[in-house]
């Protein structure tokens, strides 16, 4: 990847139903993330911001694949510490999906991590591949062969998570790696995007615009046109 250039753009929107935006995203030096907070009052916003801030600080101290996983664990602990300081508040937490550029000249790659259902897709040659693994009830059912992916998209329990930062003692982040190729686009998004749009629509829209800002904005506009029931956040990363 030595001769490859990375560009990124992001956008977030409250959507059409929620009163506040509890998503948070990060576009850093070789580090990109989307977090979707949950909890009463402003706690979801606190959790998602604390997650991305802790991730950035911890990863910059150890900018490796294992450093990224360790940074996710630190983010979990930071949120748990904060929640522990406010015992009268209901529990709060956040999902996280992050991509980092790691490795040396001979083995540069993207490493992805996620906890919860923030998704990371690779768009390559018009094909969309999910690199992240949802920690959700319906994803477990799909993996067990009990329902199909399209049934999961309409399932009444599709919002039920099986893990998130801040709500469990120890997280087990899902990890993946991909060797970048020129023309690749990575799409990080909160569930407010993929619960409104099919993967075909996400792929087509992400590929439609040369300009990453316009692509991110178009994805959000389409999610709102489809209902905008949740906060919507998109980060696009392009390899050229």
Give the interface with Mg ion as residue ranges (CB under 5 A): 36, 190-192, 230
User: Beta-strand (E) ranges in 91-173?
Assistant: 93-102, 109-115, 119-124, 127-130
CA distances from 238 to 2, 56, 217 (A): 15, 20, 15
Q: At its nearest, how many Å lie between Mg ion and the CB of residue 117? A: 8
Q: Please list, in sequence order, all residues whose beta carbon lies within 8 angstroms of the beta carbon of residue 80, skipping any fewer than 6 positions away.
A: 166, 169
CA angle 19, 20, 25 (to 5 degrees): 150
Between 184 and 191, whose beta carbon lies closer to Mg ion?
191
Between 6 and 189, whose beta carbon lies closer to Mg ion?
189
Residue 58 and residue 71 in contact, taking contact as beta carbons nearer than 8 Å = yes
Q: At its nearest, how many Å lie between Mg ion and the CB of residue 30? A: 26
Read off the tokens for 43: 């706690």
Q: At its nearest, how many Å lie between Mg ion and the CB of residue 51? A: 14
Cα 148 to Cα 142: distance, rounded to the nearest angstrom:
6
Between 191 and 196, whose beta carbon lies closer to Mg ion?
191
Between 14 and 89, whose beta carbon lies closer to Mg ion?
14
Between 112 and 190, whose beta carbon lies closer to Mg ion?
190
Between 17 and 29, whose beta carbon lies closer to Mg ion?
17
Q: At its nearest, how many Å lie between Mg ion and the CB of residue 76? A: 18
Q: At its nearest, how many Å lie between Mg ion and the CB of residue 173? A: 19
Residue 133 and residue 113 in contact, taking contact as beta carbons nearer than 8 Å = no
- Among candidate residues 41, 134, 135, the one with its CA nearest the CA of residue 90: 41
Between 1 and 139, whose beta carbon lies closer to Mg ion?
139
Beta bridge partners of residue 34, listed in sequence order? 25, 97
Q: At its nearest, how many Å lie between Mg ion and the CB of residue 97? A: 12
Cα 136 to Cα 115: distance, rounded to the nearest angstrom:
10
Q: At its nearest, how many Å lie between Mg ion and the CB of residue 159? A: 8
Phi then psi for residue 27, to 5 deg, are -125, 100
């Amino acid at each position: 990847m030595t001769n490859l250039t990375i560009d990124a753009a992001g956008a977030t929107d409250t959507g059409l139903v929620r009163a506040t935006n509890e998503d948070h995203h990060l576009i850093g030096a070789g580090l990109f993330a989307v977090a979707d907070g949950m909890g009463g009052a402003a706690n979801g916003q606190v959790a998602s911001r604390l997650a991305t801030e802790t991730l950035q600080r911890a990863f910059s101290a150890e900018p490796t694949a294992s450093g990224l996983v360790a940074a996710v664990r630190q983010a979990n602990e930071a949120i748990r510490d904060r929640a522990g300081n406010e015992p009268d508040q209901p529990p709060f937490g956040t999902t996280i999906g992050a991509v980092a550029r790691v490795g040396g000249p001979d083995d540069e790659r993207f490493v992805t991590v996620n906890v919860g259902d923030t998704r990371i897709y690779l768009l390559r040659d018009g094909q969309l591949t999910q690199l992240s693994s949802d920690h959700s009830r319906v994803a477990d059912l799909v993996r067990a062969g009990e329902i199909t992916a399209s049934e999961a998209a309409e399932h009444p329990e599709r919002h039920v998570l099986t893990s998130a930062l801040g709500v469990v003692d120890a997280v087990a982040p899902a990890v993946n790696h991909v060797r970048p190729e020129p023309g690749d686009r990575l799409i990080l998004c909160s569930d407010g995007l993929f619960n409104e749009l099919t993967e075909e629509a996400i792929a087509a829209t992400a590929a439609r615009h040369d300009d990453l800002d316009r692509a991110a904005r178009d994805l959000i506009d389409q999610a709102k046109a489809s209902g905008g029931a949740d906060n919507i956040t998109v980060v696009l990363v392009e390899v050229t």
